[in-house]
Amino acid sequence: MTRSAAQGLLGDTTARDYAWKLRLFNAFAAPQLRLAIASLALRPGMRVLDAGCGTGEALGWFAAAVGSEGLVVGADLAGAHVAAAHATAPADCPVLQANLHQLPFAPSSFDLVWSVNTLNHLHDPVTAVADLATLLRPGGRIALGQSSLLPDMYFAWDARLERRVNEAVRQYYRERYQVSERGLADVRALVGRLRQAGLSCVTARTFMIERVAPVDRADQDYLLEAIFRGTWGERLLPYLDADDHAELARLCDPQDAGFALRRPDFHFLQSFTLAVGNA
């Protein structure tokens, strides 16, 4: 087990715990995540590493794809996420607490390294990808997934408020983590990061996560708890004028008659992009 005392770009440490948010996202985006995995055409007997496995839902999906003769391993920096993944993953799936720059695996150990919504937490993503590439067998692949490379659409009926909320979130992150605007947008460079790290035959595919009213329980749980409350909420008060914040609060309040998720015109869009490179 390898640990690092260094703090990640967005405040990650071995003690950081946002397992609840990861579980909600994985349940919400499961159809699109599973389509992305299916697009990789994995075969029985392959060896897969989920680097930044979070709460581990994808480990079971990979295990089903590679079968009993294959191997699936998870690794994550946060102890709470590793504990959650142990409870979620198949019993024969190892899950390690480890820093992605110092993974305790021999070179040429895996046919696929999968890493989703992780690169944006690292100070040096190109070096991280290059480190991961050393773990690939000849012909192996790295698959980097990232949600929201395109602006999300929450309020289809009010583009102005949506833009103001997105700007407020970015301002909050800039001030809390001292990340520049360029740093926040750097996550869009998945294709470039793979090529800079020496990967070849780089491809990219974007899956749209689209939901319309009425939303199901998994969609409501994610949008209400992880976005409306966990990402927005009171933290945006300093970054919005009083009228905009009041309107946002009404739209995000399940007790309000105008609650966004009950509106018949609710239409949500979020992108999930998977960039794949060959060793």
pLDDT for res 62: 98
Q: Which of 94-98, 171-175, 184-188 has the lowest mean pLDDT?
A: 184-188
Percent of the chain with pLDDT over 90: 85
Where do the H-state alpha helices sit in 197-279?
Answer: 217-221, 242-251
pLDDT of 1 > 50? The answer is no
Query: What is the rounded average pLDDT of the residues 231-259?
Result: 96
pLDDT for res 6: 53
Query: Under 8 Å CB-to-CB from 238, ≥6 apart: which residues?
Result: none
pLDDT tens digits for 52-88?
A: 999 999 999 999 999 999 999 999 999 999 999 999 9
pLDDT-derived band at 223 (thresholds 50, 70, 90) equals very high
Q: What's the burial of 15, exposed, middle or buried (CB within 10 Å: 0-12/13-18/19+)?
A: exposed
- Please compute, for residue 199, the number of CA atoms within 13 A of its CA located in the half-sphere on the CB side: 34
- CA distance readout (Å), 117 to 106, 254, 275: 24, 28, 12
Domain boundaries, the chain: 19-150+180-210+270-278, 159-175+211-267
pLDDT-derived band at 18 (thresholds 50, 70, 90) equals confident
pLDDT of 106 > 50? The answer is yes
pLDDT for res 212: 98
pLDDT of 9 > 60? The answer is no
Query: What is the rounded average pLDDT of the residues 108-118?
Result: 97
pLDDT for res 182: 77
Asked if 81 contacts 69 with a C-beta cutoff of 8 angstroms, the reply is no
Q: Which CATH class name applies to 19-150+180-210+270-278? A: alpha beta
d(CA 198, CA 196): 5
Residue 240: name the closest of 170, 164, 151, 156 by CA. Answer: 164
Per the model's pLDDT, the better-predicted residue between 40 and 16 turns out to be: 40
pLDDT of 38 > 70? The answer is yes
Query: What is the rounded average pLDDT of the residues 185-208?
Result: 94
pLDDT for res 178: 82
Query: Under 8 Å CB-to-CB from 188, ≥6 apart: which residues?
Result: 146, 149
d(CA 59, CA 54): 10
Asked if 205 contacts 269 with a C-beta cutoff of 8 angstroms, the reply is no
Q: Which helix (H) or strand (E) holds 74?
A: strand 71-76
pLDDT of 8 > 80? The answer is no
Token duo for residue 112: 């696929």
pLDDT for res 2: 36
pLDDT of 17 > 90? The answer is no
